[in-house]
């Protein structure tokens, strides 16, 4: 029975992993290292690596990149937004818009202490910068293995 449960969990994970987007609209933010950690983690955990991984340097570029998969009915599994050293209203609104338009996708914002904290804690998943590899791997474990969907998640919004 344990083996059957493990097989069903693997099938569910295969269906969950969709496109992954890394968005750094602030020129000072970089997500290359986190993208590499993510790919290595997926390989280590036998998750399908035929998913597309996008890196976007602006909100406009991210909107263009998101259009194709969403139009094709393939919403992203994970969107990571580096809010930069001083979050801009445009970037904050973009993250809020993504949460409203794609509720099945994980939207994780990398933030500093300058992030305006006027939102309800259950509306956003924030991870404090600088991001440590072990913390990022814990987030991936939660997103892809434990919770599967933000609607079912009991994740803490602030680390």
Give the pLDDT of the chain (159 residues) as one tens digit per residue: 444 344 334 434 434 468 899 999 875 656 889 999 999 999 898 887 667 888 999 999 999 999 988 888 888 989 999 988 888 889 989 998 998 888 888 999 998 877 766 655 556 788 888 999 999 999 999 988 888 677 655 554 444
Q: Which helix (H) or strand (E) segment is 78 a member of? A: strand 78-82
Q: How far apart are CA 88 and CA 32, in angstroms?
A: 21
How confident is the model at residue 84, as a pLDDT?
A: 85
Gyration radius from the chain CA atoms: 15
Q: How far apart are CA 128 and CA 135, in angstroms?
A: 10
Sign of CA dihedral 90, 91, 94, 96: negative
Count Cα neighbours of 100 within 13 Å in the Cβ-side half-sphere. 6
Longest dimension (CA), the chain: 51
Residue whose structure tokens are 């996008």: 54
Assigned CATH topology for domain 2-152: Rossmann fold (3.40.50)
Q: Which of 49, 104, 45 is nearest to 73 (CA)?
A: 104
How confident is the model at residue 32, as a pLDDT?
A: 87
Q: Which two tokens stand for residue 157?
A: 């919004």
């Amino acid at each position: 029975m344990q083996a059957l449960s493990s097989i069903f969990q693997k099938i569910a994970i295969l269906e969950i992993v969709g496109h992954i987007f890394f968005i750094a609209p602030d020129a000072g933010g970089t997500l290359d290292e986190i993208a590499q950690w993510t790919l290595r983690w997926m390989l280590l955990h036998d998750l399908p690596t035929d998913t597309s991984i996008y890196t976007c340097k602006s909100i406009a570029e991210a909107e263009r990149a998101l259009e194709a998969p969403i139009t094709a009915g393939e919403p992203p599994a994970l969107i990571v937004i580096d809010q930069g050293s001083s979050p801009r209203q445009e970037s904050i609104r973009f993250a809020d818009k993504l949460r409203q338009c794609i509720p099945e996708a994980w939207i994780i914002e990398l933030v500093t202490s300058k992030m305006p904290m006027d939102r309800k804690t259950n509306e956003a998943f924030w991870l404090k910068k600088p991001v440590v590899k072990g913390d990022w791997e814990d987030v991936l474990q939660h997103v892809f293995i434990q919770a599967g969907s933000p609607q079912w998640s009991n994740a803490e919004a602030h680390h």
